[in-house]
């Protein structure tokens, strides 16, 4: 019960902070254009119709990005079925709780001072300070359209991390990092690049150019995922005593393939929607580049896995497509289609290399490959702008046009993203680890997070063979707790048991328990 009351207290504090912020912002109550009539104009002018078509395009983009959350959730097919509900819950709560956090704190920190829309005037080059809770002057059709589009982006960043820490993270710890990522880490870095902050105004090239979020979303999310998985430690049974890694197969490849397709579908909105304007006809090239990179990444993985393992490994082909999509996120608007092919191919190979690096060399357990897909290719995509931008769009000139300044700007932006995410991630996860206990108990990990944390398995059995025996009475509950602690102790013993290499099985197994007593006949 103490546990629960602490949670309620934390929730109350949160509410109090939010009400405080509300009161502070309520001073300025004059709305800009909440009806949209002033933006559209009185008669059906061409300017007004341009606004209408751009609004439609951006909102469509936002809706498409929103469905990517379904793609992320379905990638849980890479996990074991006992933890599927837990992972899907993380993804869904990201898009709802994360949206709330972004509404209260994130958006104002990120876009205050950007002057991209009415009500976003106040802010410094380090953090924004306007438009919190969409109150006052930011109660405006343009500002709120921007909010919707940016909110769905922010929630994706958290979902990236969920993949790397899946199957062993405590729910409270998840909620805490989710809050910080959506409320502070992502918005502040986003402000530097997209909100008119110091990175966007660097005096090299055109400043740091991150079209749809290679650094803001993927590098930040990927590095946080890396740190999270590292601090959390590997799943039970992932690593042998000699340091070699065991595969832990997932439970549903159907989900993985459909999830990848949904992500690719949503990515059209992610990239092409980032123009925030349909009158910017570059959108056709952006959308095509996006898919070309995905197709190139998937194709190279097809032949790579075929050549190296003899099988056409669908899991890696799906990851190859995602790697291409992540890498093209920043350069999609600035490069020609041929460059998208190169970016996609290199992205998939970089993804494969990182899987090996993270799993074999760094010994970090990343169940969904979030680090390989998002961190590596977020970095590669940022640098790719510096290499392949051909100067036709936005005045961004890459190395192929003979100018190295943009590459320098991209490099600085990337290093800053990595350092920012690493510092926050390490601090955040270390503090959670020592104050809240990051990891679930051995019993919960063995039996699955679904039934223990969420109260129900992800795939409940057919109701016909489950008889419901009513609400547990106190006496039975006490017995349950005693038995659970006995089981907990027994399972914890397995963690310290001696393991030996079995030549017969070709893998590591527990050494046989020395018989203590013979069973009673």
CB-nearer residue toward another protein: 126 or 490: 490
- Residue 61 and residue 70: Cα distance in Å, rounded? 15
CB 326 within 8 A of CB 207: no
Report long-range pairs for 503-509 (Cβ below 8 Å, ≥24 apart): 507/240, 507/246, 508/240, 508/241, 508/242, 508/244, 508/246
Write down the least CB distance from residue 497 to another protein, Å: 9
Q: What are the residues binding another protein (CB under 8 A)? A: 446-447, 451, 454-457, 461, 465-472, 476-477, 479-480, 482-484, 486-487, 489-491, 494, 502, 504-505, 509-510, 512-516, 518-519
- Residue 422 and residue 428: Cα distance in Å, rounded? 10
CB-nearer residue toward another protein: 44 or 480: 480
- Residue 40 and residue 62: Cα distance in Å, rounded? 21
Write down the least CB distance from residue 250 to another protein, Å: 17
Write down the least CB distance from residue 364 to another protein, Å: 23
- Residue 270 and residue 516: Cα distance in Å, rounded? 62
CB-nearer residue toward another protein: 361 or 514: 514
Write down the least CB distance from residue 520 to another protein, Å: 11
Write down the least CB distance from residue 485 to another protein, Å: 8
- Residue 436 and residue 176: Cα distance in Å, rounded? 10
- Residue 161 and residue 456: Cα distance in Å, rounded? 24
CB-nearer residue toward another protein: 34 or 472: 472
Write down the least CB distance from residue 510 to another protein, Å: 6
CB-nearer residue toward another protein: 81 or 392: 81
| CA 355-304-337 angle, 5° bins | 95
CB-nearer residue toward another protein: 122 or 485: 485
**Among candidates 347, 345, 342, which has minimal Cα distance to 327?**
347
Q: How far is CA 237 from CA 137, 240, 241, in A?
A: 55, 7, 10
Write down the least CB distance from residue 503 to another protein, Å: 10
- Residue 377 and residue 93: Cα distance in Å, rounded? 26
CB-nearer residue toward another protein: 43 or 467: 467
Contacts with 341 (C-beta within 8 Å, 6 or more apart), sequence order: 292, 293, 296
CB-nearer residue toward another protein: 44 or 494: 494
What token pair was written down for 82? Answer: 């006992």
Write down the least CB distance from residue 516 to another protein, Å: 7
């Amino acid at each position: 019960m103490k546990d629960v009351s602490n949670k309620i207290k934390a929730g109350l504090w949160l509410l109090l902070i939010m009400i405080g912020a509300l009161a502070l912002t309520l001073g300025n109550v004059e709305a800009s254009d909440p009806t949209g009539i002033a933006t559209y104009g009185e008669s059906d002018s061409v300017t007004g119709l341009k606004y209408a078509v751009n609004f439609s395009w951006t909102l469509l983009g936002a809706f498409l990005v929103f469905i990517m959350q379904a793609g992320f959730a379905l990638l849980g097919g890479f996990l074991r079925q006992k933890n599927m509900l837990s992972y899907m819950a993380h993804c869904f709560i990201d898009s709802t709780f994360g949206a709330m956090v972004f509404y209260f704190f994130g958006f104002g920190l990120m876009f205050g001072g950007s002057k991209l829309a009415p009500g976003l005037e106040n802010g410094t080059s380090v953090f924004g300070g306007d438009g919190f809770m969409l109150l006052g002057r930011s109660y405006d059709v343009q500002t709120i359209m921007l909010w919707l589009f940016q909110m769905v982006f922010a929630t994706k960043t958290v979902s990236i991390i969920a993949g790397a820490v899946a199957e062993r993270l405590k729910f409270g710890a998840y909620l805490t990092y989710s809050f910080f990522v959506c409320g502070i880490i992502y918005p502040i870095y986003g402000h530097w690049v997209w909100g008119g902050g110091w990175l966007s105004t660097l005096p090299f090239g055109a400043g740091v150019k991150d079209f749809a979020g290679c650094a803001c979303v993927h590098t930040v999310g990927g590095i946080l995922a890396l740190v999270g998985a590292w601090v959390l430690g590997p799943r039970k049974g992932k690593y042998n005593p000699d340091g070699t890694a065991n595969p832990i197969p997932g439970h549903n490849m159907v989900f993985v393939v459909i999830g990848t397709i949904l992500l690719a579908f949503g990515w059209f909105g992610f990239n092409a929607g980032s123009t925030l304007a349909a009158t910017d006809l570059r959108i056709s090239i952006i959308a095509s580049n996006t898919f070309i990179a995905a197709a190139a990444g998937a194709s190279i993985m097809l032949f790579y896995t075929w050549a190296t393992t003899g099988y056409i490994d669908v899991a890696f082909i799906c990851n190859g497509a995602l790697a291409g999509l992540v890498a093209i996120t920043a350069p999609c608007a600035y490069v020609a289609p041929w460059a998208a092919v190169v970016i996609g191919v290199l992205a998939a190979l970089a993804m494969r290399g990182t899987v090996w690096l993270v799993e074999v060399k760094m010994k970090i357990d990343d169940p969904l490959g979030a680090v390989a897909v998002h961190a590596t290719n977020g970095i590669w995509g940022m640098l790719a702008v510096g290499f392949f931008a051909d100067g036709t769009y936005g005045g961004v000139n890459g190395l192929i046009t003979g100018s190295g300044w943009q590459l320098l700007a991209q490099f600085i932006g990337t290093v800053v993203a990595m350092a920012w995410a690493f510092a926050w991630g390490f601090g955040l996860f270390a503090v959670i680890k020592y104050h809240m206990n990051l990891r679930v108990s051995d019993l919960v990990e063995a039996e699955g997070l679904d039934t223990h944390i969420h109260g129900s398995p992800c795939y409940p059995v057919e109701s016909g063979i489950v008889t419901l025996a009513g609400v547990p009475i106190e006496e039975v509950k006490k017995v349950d707790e005693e038995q659970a602690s006995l089981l907990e102790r027994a399972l914890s013993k397995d963690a310290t048991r001696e393991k030996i290499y079995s030549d017969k099985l070709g893998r590591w197994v527990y050494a046989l328990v020395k018989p203590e007593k013979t069973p009673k006949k």
